[in-house]
Amino acid sequence: MSEDFELDTDDLNRRMDGAMTALRHEFSSLRTGRASGSMVDSVMVDAYGALTPINQVGTINVPEPRMVTVNVWDKGLIGKVEKAIRDSGLGINPVVDGTTIRLPIPELNEERRRELSKVAGTYAENARIAIRNIRRDGMDQLKKAKNDGMGEDDHKIWSDEVQDMTDKSIAAIDAALDQKQEEIMQV
């Protein structure tokens, strides 16, 4: 089997890229003092007996730099949408205006900036953990192949390849975190 073994590096790369994409999506939900429709993407509304993403119960708009609006389609859900936004931990106080819920984005104070910076760090650490789990999967495949007769040299080459992919992904996560924290701390 040692001659036939080929580690699926494309799969490992794809999974590591997926972890990076998930991190970028989580970073986009962190507000940095400017309004963005993606800020409310993570908000889940208890609609019709199931947790539903907010974008499936209303239209999300950004009419001005410090305002996000949610135009709720079903009048019966306005209270539930408002409650979901309050409970989401975004630190935004929704204002109900008919079927529209306005979310004024307050200026970030220094304490809130530090708090958001810590949240960004947590998101980055979760992404690092995902990358390390993917690395472990690759190393487990190599260990199994070694037990099935793979040579020491081949094992070392493949291990170095997996470690190199891991190091590059971790470096990309660190760079994205530094950039996001700098963005958050900008006044």
Using the 3D structure, point to which of 104, 132, 166 is the last residue of a domain: 104
Give the three-class secondary structure for 53: strand
What is the CATH classification number for the domain harbouring 60? 3.30.1360.40
Considering the domain architecture, whether residues 75 and 120 belong to the same structural domain is answered as: no
CATH code of the domain in which 13 resides: 1.10.132.20
- 104: three-class secondary structure by DSSP: strand
Tell me: the pLDDT tens digits for 117-159?
A: 898 999 999 999 999 999 999 999 999 989 988 888 989 999 9
Arithmetic mean of pLDDT over the chain: 87
User: Does position 2 have pLDDT exceeding 50, yes or no?
Assistant: no
Same domain, 123 and 55: no
69 domain residue, yes or no: yes
**Which residue range(s) make up the domain with 85?**
34-104
Q: What percentage of the chain has pLDDT greater than the value 90?
A: 39
In a domain, 3, yes or no: no
Whole-prediction pTM = 0.67
- Residue 137: per-residue pLDDT: 94
How many domains are contained in the chain?
A: 2
User: What is the C-alpha to C-alpha distance for residues 4 and 154, in angstroms, rounded to an integer?
Assistant: 11
Of 61, 79, 104, the position where a domain reaches its end is 104
CA neighbours within 13 Å on the CB side: how many for 97?
11
- 17 with 78, same domain: the answer is no
Residue 1 lies in a domain: no
How far is the C-alpha of 43 from the C-alpha of 55, rounded, in Å?
9
The 10 Å Cβ neighbour count of residue 131 is 24
